[in-house]
Amino acid sequence: MKILPCFLSALLLVQAMSAPVFAADSEGSDTSAPAAASGLPLPRFVSTRSEQVNVRTGPGERYPVQWVLRRKGMPVEIIAEYENWRKIRDWTGTEGWVHQALLSGRRYAVIYPHDGVLRSDATPIAQPVARVQAGVIVRLTQCSADWCALTIGETEGWMSKEFLWGIYPSEKLE
- DSSP letters along the chain, please? --HHHHHHHHHHHHHHHHS---PPP-TT-SSPEEPTTT--EESEEEEESSS-EEEESSSSTTSPEEEEE--TT-EEEEEEEETTEEEEE-TTS-EEEEEGGGEES--EEEE-SS-EEEESSSSTTSPEEEEE-TT-EEEEEEE-SSEEEEEETTEEEEEEGGGEESS-TT--B-
First and final C-alpha spacing in the chain: 64
**pTM attached to this predicted model:** 0.77
With 80 as the cut, is the pLDDT of residue 13 above it? no
pLDDT band at 27 (very low <50, low <70, confident <90, very high): very low
With 90 as the cut, is the pLDDT of residue 17 above it? no
pLDDT in tens, 65-121: 999 999 999 999 999 999 999 999 999 999 999 999 999 999 999 999 999 999 999
Q: What is the fold, at CATH topology level, of the domain defined by 27-106?
A: SH3 type barrels. (2.30.30)
Closest CA to 140 of 112, 164, 116: 164
Query: Under CATH, which number does the domain 109-165 receive?
Result: 2.30.30.40
| Whether the Cβ atoms of residue 92 and residue 67 lie closer than 8 Å to each other | no
Closest CA to 162 of 126, 127, 112: 112
Residue 66: per-residue pLDDT: 95
In angstroms, rounded to a whole number, what is the distance separating the alpha carbons of residues 68 and 50? 11
pLDDT in tens, 28-79: 334 444 445 788 999 999 999 999 999 999 999 999 999 999 999 999 999 9
| Whether the Cβ atoms of residue 148 and residue 119 lie closer than 8 Å to each other | no
With 60 as the cut, is the pLDDT of residue 172 above it? yes
CATH 2.30.30.40 in the chain: give the residue spans: 27-106, 109-165
Residue 5: per-residue pLDDT: 40
Mean pLDDT of 140-154: 95
Residue 36: per-residue pLDDT: 52
Residue 39: per-residue pLDDT: 86
Mean pLDDT of 139-161: 96
